[in-house]
């Protein structure tokens, strides 16, 4: 069964000045799947992730070649507005980065900056998003309190709720659990599993077990190249490339 | 000598030197308080100078300084904050940015008397504002501008990029990010810088010398095109070039005390406001 891919990159090259950071990456992601990007530090996996909401554009001296499409549309075309793209492609960062605002205003932020200000609508969307991020029960009585009063794990789920509030269809996660304790990590992982039914998720992770637990597909990056991309089960049990084999079994990285 | 002993000696040297700095400050304060304290009363603060400025009060100088401080900040604060935002949030690292930063630093290094001459040439003569609150405020504002820019920039540099990225990733524009996330975090530090530059501006004599300050003017201004008296210039006049320098000695110490208290109160206020604002940022 092949559907139209949700996300597609064709022969993408990316340069930081003279440094060739991504080398001819071709890959496609099906809707409502979780794709894990793995590989040693500096292999290009985070850079690849940031292609899809054009966060790389903020880095001076960057050059991108090739074709990146979401829902069949070139996201680097001149006619596309970056803020519209980022509404559709949400992102969760490595370190929880709530704004110095109340819990409620953190989740409402994406709505407000996109001109959605109607009070009852905002309230409803904030609640839905917090429920989706499995945080509602813990914060419903203190929505006016500062987001900084939450624990690290709660803050990260708040950031997920914040990303979900503007109803993206793609969720990019850059090592979302690497700064969290094991219990918070497992909560985030459960959440990723549940969110799959509504979103297409790409997650960068250093944690092999995590990639194995949460993802359908896994892509192994090494020195800017996509070495292998296949079903997660295949990557972890029967990889075709010896470098993938030695990385997933922990012989380097 | 054992390294423990060296450690102890070094520690005590540092401690004594720090105490020395505090001591000098207290010495200055004590000097002025002792000589000026008996002058400080309601009449001194609220009446006009009399009798060749040897008697009466310093009311017009206090009012003048307040006007000049307010005027200069009305000009320097918005302009400086916007310039600081532009430099840090909008320009990428380029020769232009380095040039602007270098020029800002140079502007801060220009002697205040040069600002005074420039203000006279531009505001008083060329723009024909005359010796006036407007000309003096703009001149003092120019002097404060590099400080406000620098403080704003420092406040923005201190903010972690993760706030900016988080906001941009939600589809916010740079302006929305700056206004809604970055500025509220930076504001406590910017306000502190603002109040410190008010302290600096209120004590400056040279920039107001040729642009606004009146030698003796026992009435309050009616418009921004009027001259005013100002505390630092009044102090200079009655202690060096007045008609009866020796007889106005007490007046001079009283004026100095008022000026020092003014700056001291501003500094305390800066601290309190910064604390209040940092609390508010977290709670809101």
Per the CB < 8 Å rule, is B172 touching A58? no
Looking at residue A208, what DSSP letter applies?
Answer: H
CA–centroid distance for B245 within its chain: 28
Looking at residue B16, what DSSP letter applies?
Answer: H
Q: What are phi and psi of A230, to 5 degrees?
A: -160, 180
Q: Closest Cα of chain B to A58: distance in Å?
A: 9
Q: Considering the domain boundaries, does residue B17 fall inside one?
A: no
Q: Kind of pairing, strands A200-204 and A170-174? A: parallel
Q: Closest Cα of chain A to B185: distance in Å?
A: 7
User: Could you tell me the CATH number of the domain that includes residue B85?
Assistant: 1.10.3720.10
User: Could you tell me the CATH number of the domain that includes residue A149?
Assistant: 3.40.50.300
Q: Kind of pairing, strands A217-222 and A225-231? A: antiparallel
Chain B hits for A107, CB-CB cut-off 8 Å, are none
Q: Considering the domain boundaries, does residue B10 fall inside one?
A: no
Q: Considering the domain boundaries, does residue A253 fall inside one?
A: no
Q: Considering the domain boundaries, does residue B18 fall inside one?
A: no
Q: Considering the domain boundaries, does residue B7 fall inside one?
A: no
Task: Give the structural domain span for B234.
Answer: 54-283
Distance CA A6, CA A1 (A): 14
Q: Considering the domain boundaries, does residue B22 fall inside one?
A: no
Q: What is the domain count for chain B?
A: 1
Give the one of B93, B160, B171 whose C-beta lies nearest to A166's C-beta: B171
Mutant choice from B171, B180, B184 vs A, greatest count of A C-beta within 10 A = B171
Distance CA A192, CA B174 (A): 30
Distance CA B171, CA B169 (A): 5
Task: Map residue B245 onto helix, strand or coil.
Answer: coil
Distance CA A240, CA A248 (A): 12
* Residues A66-91, mean pLDDT to the nearest whole number: 94
Q: Considering the domain boundaries, does residue B1 fall inside one?
A: no
Q: Which residues of A touch B (CB under 8 A)?
A: 53, 55, 58, 60, 83-84, 86-87, 90-91, 93, 95, 97-102, 105, 109-110, 112-114, 145-146, 148, 159, 162-163, 166
Q: What are phi and psi of A166, to 5 degrees?
A: -90, 15
Q: Closest Cα of chain B to A246: distance in Å?
A: 34
Q: Considering the domain boundaries, does residue B43 fall inside one?
A: no
CA distances from A117 to A43, A121, A125, A147 (A): 41, 8, 11, 20
ipTM entry: 0.92
Q: Considering the domain boundaries, does residue A166 fall inside one?
A: yes
Sheet of strand A217-222: strand arrangement? A89-92, A170-174, A200-204, A34-38, A217-222, A225-231
Q: pTM of whole model > 0.90?
A: no
Environment class of A77 (CB within 10 Å of its CB; exposed 0-12, middle 13-18, buried 19+): exposed
Task: Give the structural domain span for A188.
Answer: 7-248
Whose CA is closest to B239, among B212, B205, B208? B205
How does pLDDT run along chain B (284 residues), one tens digit per residue? Answer: 889 999 999 999 999 999 999 999 999 999 999 999 988 888 888 888 887 777 788 999 999 999 999 999 999 999 999 999 999 998 887 888 888 889 988 988 999 999 999 999 999 999 999 899 999 999 999 999 999 999 999 999 999 999 999 999 999 999 999 999 999 999 988 988 888 888 889 989 999 999 988 888 888 888 889 889 999 999 998 888 766 777 888 889 999 999 999 988 888 888 888 888 877 665 44
Mutant choice from B93, B95, B164, B170 vs A, greatest count of A C-beta within 10 A = B170
- CB count in 10 Å sphere of residue B145: 21
Per the CB < 8 Å rule, is B162 touching A97? yes
Q: Considering the domain boundaries, does residue B81 fall inside one?
A: yes
Q: Considering the domain boundaries, does residue A181 fall inside one?
A: yes
Q: What is the domain count for chain A?
A: 1
Longest CA span, chain B = 72
Q: Which residues of chain B form beta strands (DSSP E)? A: 49-50, 55-56
User: B183-203 vs B133-157: helix axis angle to the nearest 10?
Assistant: 140
Per the CB < 8 Å rule, is B162 touching A93? yes
Question: How many residue contacts between A and B have a Cβ separation below 8 Å?
Answer: 76
Q: Considering the domain boundaries, does residue A118 fall inside one?
A: yes
Q: Considering the domain boundaries, does residue A38 fall inside one?
A: yes
Give the one of B163, B185, B283 whose C-beta lies nearest to A97's C-beta: B163
DSSP-assigned beta bridge partners for residue A221? A226
Q: Considering the domain boundaries, does residue A68 fall inside one?
A: yes
Per the CB < 8 Å rule, is B165 touching A114? no
- CB count in 10 Å sphere of residue B258: 24
Contact (CB, 8 A) for A235 and A220:
yes
């Amino acid at each position: 069964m092949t559907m139209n891919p949700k996300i597609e990159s064709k022969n993408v090259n990316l340069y930081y000045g003279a440094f060739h950071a991504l080398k001819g990456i071709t890959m496609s992601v099906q809707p409502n799947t979780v794709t894990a990007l793995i590989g040693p530090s500096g292999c290009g996996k985070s850079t690849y992730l940031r292609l899809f909401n054009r966060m790389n554009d903020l880095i001076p001296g960057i050059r991108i070649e090739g074709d990146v499409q979401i829902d069949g549309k070139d996201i680097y075309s001149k006619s596309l507005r970056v803020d519209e793209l980022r509404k559709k492609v949400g992102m969760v960062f490595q370190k929880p980065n709530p704004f110095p605002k109340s819990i409620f205003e953190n989740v409402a932020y994406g709505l407000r900056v996109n001109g959605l200000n109607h009070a009852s609508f905002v309230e409803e969307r904030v609640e839905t998003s917090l429920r989706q991020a499995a945080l509602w029960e813990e914060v419903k009585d203190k929505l006016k309190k500062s987001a900084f009063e939450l624990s690290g794990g709660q803050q990260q789920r708040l950031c997920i709720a914040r990303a979900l509030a503007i109803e993206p269809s793609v969720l990019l996660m850059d090592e979302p659990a690497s700064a969290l304790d094991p219990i918070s990590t497992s909560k985030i992982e459960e959440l990723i599993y549940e969110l799959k039914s509504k979103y297409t998720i790409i997650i960068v992770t250093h944690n092999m077990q995590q990639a194995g637990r949460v993802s359908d597909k896994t892509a192994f990056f090494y020195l800017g190249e996509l070495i292998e991309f296949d079903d997660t089960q295949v990557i972890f049990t029967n990889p075709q490339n010896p470098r993938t084999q030695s990385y997933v079994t922990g012989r380097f990285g | 000598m054992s390294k423990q002993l060296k450690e102890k000696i070094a520690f005590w040297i540092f401690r004594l030197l720090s105490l020395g700095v505090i001591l000098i400050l207290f010495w200055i304060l004590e000097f002025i308080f002792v000589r000026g304290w008996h002058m400080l009363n309601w009449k001194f603060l609220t009446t006009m100078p009399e009798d060749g400025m040897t008697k009466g009060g310093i009311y017009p100088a206090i009012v003048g300084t307040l006007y000049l401080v307010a005027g200069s900040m009305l000009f320097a604060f918005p302009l400086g904050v916007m310039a600081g935002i532009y430099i840090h949030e909008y320009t990428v690292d380029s020769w232009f940015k380095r040039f602007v930063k270098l020029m800002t630093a140079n502007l801060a290094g220009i002697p205040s008397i040069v600002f005074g001459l420039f203000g006279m040439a531009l505001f008083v003569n060329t723009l024909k504002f005359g010796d006036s609150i407007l000309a003096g405020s703009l001149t003092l504002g120019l002097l404060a501008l590099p400080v406000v820019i620098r403080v704003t920039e420092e406040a923005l540099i201190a903010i972690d990029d993760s706030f900016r990225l988080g906001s941009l990733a939600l589809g916010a524009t740079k302006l929305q990010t700056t206004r809604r996330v970055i500025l509220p975090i930076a504001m406590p530090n910017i306000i502190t810088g603002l109040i410190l530059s008010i302290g600096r501006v209120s004590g400056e004599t040279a920039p107001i010398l040729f642009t606004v300050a009146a030698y003796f003017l026992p009435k309050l201004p009616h418009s921004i095109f009027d001259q005013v008296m100002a505390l630092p210039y009044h102090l200079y006049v009655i202690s060096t070039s007045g008609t009866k320098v020796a007889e106005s000695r007490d007046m001079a110490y009283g004026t100095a005390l008022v000026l020092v208290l003014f700056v001291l109160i501003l500094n305390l206020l800066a601290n309190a406001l910064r604390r209040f604002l940092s609390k508010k940022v977290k709670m809101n």
